Structure 1
Amino acid sequence: MKSFDLHRMALDKVPLDFLGEVALRSLYTFILVFLFLKITGRRGVRQMSLFEVLIILTLGSAAGDVAFYDDVPMLPVLVVFITLAALYRLVMWLMSRSEKLEDLLEGKPVIVVEEGELAWERLQSENMTEFEFFMELRLGGVEQLGQVRLAIMETNGQISIYYYPDDDVKAGLVILPSSCVSRFTTVPEAADYACVRCSAIFHFNAREHQLCPRCTNPEWSKASTAKRVT
């Protein structure tokens, strides 16, 4: 085999006119995917549940194969799309009548912040990290967790945030990027400090250092009482 053979790299063993067939196959799969999305509704990617993402991935695999493999017939792919559309409708109908099935396929909302403190144990049990949630909270205008009464990770991956009124804001962990926040293993002065991992708040005296009783993390940042800027 000759290296850097442009003809082999571009077409391999297929004839040039096969490119026209690829265009037709691509149009065919585009129409099938379009019709499927029209049937299932106009939901964005971030609004999709785990079950819906699985359906879309299966569709994408079928569509990709038929688009450019000359040995993949087109009619069986149509059957795949019809079957998945029927399965989707059936599962949606069953979930509307069974809360247990809905929880199994869609998942349950997860509380990630409760009364100004990260629900760290719950995140651990769900195999989630706090860093991605901090990013989402920052996008919601949150500077420190004491501003948040309740934050819920919905089944579609979005976060619903319920804020404290300004007068009720608590001391909390600053969730700005680490480059914007000083961290200490030995605190410089007496004050309230927040564990940078689990957000637990403790009062320390100057030059004191200890592991977090909640998560054994050694690093702390000074707790903030900043109110939201709206």
Structure 2
Amino acid sequence: MEAFDWQRIFFHKFPLAFLAEVTLRVAIAYVLVFLFLKVAGRRGIRQLSVFELVIILTLGSAAGDVTFYEDVPIAPVATVFAALLLLYRTTTYVMGRSSRIAAWMDGVPITLIREGRYEIENLSRLNISEDEFFMELRQQGVEHLGQVKMGILEIDGDVSLFFYEDDLVQAGLSVMPPEHRQDFTRVPDDGLYACNHCGHTHVLKAQQEFSCSHCSHESWSRALANRRAR
């Protein structure tokens, strides 16, 4: 084999006319995917459930194979699409008739923040890092947890937030990045501090080391009480 053989790299053993066939195959695959999504009544990409994501990935694999492999005929791929559509329709019908199956397939909303404090048990069983969650909160205009009455992780992965009115905002844990939030195990001054693990607030004395009464962790940052910027 010769290195940098441009004929091999770009065309291998295919004649130029095969590129026209590839174009036709792509057009057919494009139409099949479009028709599938149209008939299935697709939602936005951020609203995909796990089951629907599997369907989309399978569609992509089938559509990709038929576009540039010369030995993959179109009829079996069209059958794959029809079978997937039948499977999708059957599954959504069963989910519509059984809330238990729907909850198992799609999942259920999970409360992550309640009254300005983390729901630790719910948060700990999710595969989500603190930095990732804080980023999600900041993108929705949250500066600290005391501004949030309730935060719910929806089944599509979005976080729905319900805020306190300005006059009801509590002191809470800052969601700022590390360079904008100092963490302490021994607090430097008297004041109100928030537990970095659960968001519970305590009044602490200077140089005091203290275990949170809510979750027993010992890392603290200054609690913020700012109202939300409009």
TM-score (normalised: structure 2) = 0.93
Q: Residue 143 of structure 2 corresponds to which residue in structure 1?
A: 143
Is 1:10 matched up with 2:10? yes
Q: Residue 107 of structure 1 corresponds to which residue in structure 2?
A: 107
Residues 50-89 of structure 1 mapped to structure 2, 5 A cutoff = 50-89=50-89
* Contact 1:26/1:67 (<8 A) preserved: yes
CA–CA distance in structure 2, aligned partners of residues 165 and 31 of structure 1:
49
Q: Residue 208 of structure 1 corresponds to which residue in structure 2?
A: 208
Residues 32-43 of structure 1 mapped to structure 2, 5 A cutoff = 32-43=32-43
| Cα deviation code 1:3-34 (max 9, x no counterpart) | 12111111222222211111111111100110
CA–CA distance in structure 2, aligned partners of residues 201 and 64 of structure 1:
54
CA RMSD of aligned residues (A): 1.7
CA–CA distance in structure 1, aligned partners of residues 153 and 129 of structure 2:
12
TM-score (normalised: structure 1) = 0.93
**Shift of residue 218 of structure 1?**
4.6
CA–CA distance in structure 1, aligned partners of residues 208 and 189 of structure 2:
8
* Contact 1:123/1:130 (<8 A) preserved: no
CA–CA distance in structure 2, aligned partners of residues 134 and 204 of structure 1:
25
CA–CA distance in structure 2, aligned partners of residues 219 and 7 of structure 1:
63
Is 1:195 matched up with 2:190? no
Q: Which moved more, 1:69-78 or 1:198-207?
A: 198-207
Distance 1:218 1:8, change over 3 A: farther
**Where do 5+ consecutive residues of structure 1 fail to align?**
none
Runs (4 or more) in structure 1 with deviation over 6 Å come to none
Number of aligned residues: 230
* Contact 1:123/1:129 (<8 A) preserved: no
**Shift of residue 216 of structure 1?**
6.1
**Shift of residue 159 of structure 1?**
1.3
CA–CA distance in structure 2, aligned partners of residues 218 and 199 of structure 1:
12
Percent identical among aligned pairs is 46
CA–CA distance in structure 1, aligned partners of residues 10 and 210 of structure 2:
63
| Cα deviation code 1:129-177 (max 9, x no counterpart) | 2322222221211110011111101001111111111121111111022
Q: Which moved more, 1:38-47 or 1:209-218?
A: 209-218
**Shift of residue 127 of structure 1?**
2.9
**Shift of residue 211 of structure 1?**
5.3
Q: Which moved more, 1:38-47 or 1:90-99?
A: 38-47
* Contact 1:173/1:221 (<8 A) preserved: yes
CA–CA distance in structure 2, aligned partners of residues 214 and 67 of structure 1:
58
Q: Secondary structure at the match of 1:187?
A: coil
| Cα deviation code 1:86-124 (max 9, x no counterpart) | 111111111111001101110010111111011222111
Distance 1:172 1:14, change over 3 A: same
CA–CA distance in structure 2, aligned partners of residues 158 and 95 of structure 1:
21
* Contact 1:185/1:218 (<8 A) preserved: yes
**Where do 5+ consecutive residues of structure 2 fail to align?**
none
The one-letter amino acid paired with 2:184 is: F
Q: Which moved more, 1:197-206 or 1:74-83?
A: 197-206
The one-letter amino acid paired with 1:47 is: Q
* Contact 1:144/1:224 (<8 A) preserved: yes
* Contact 1:169/1:227 (<8 A) preserved: yes
The one-letter amino acid paired with 2:68 is: F
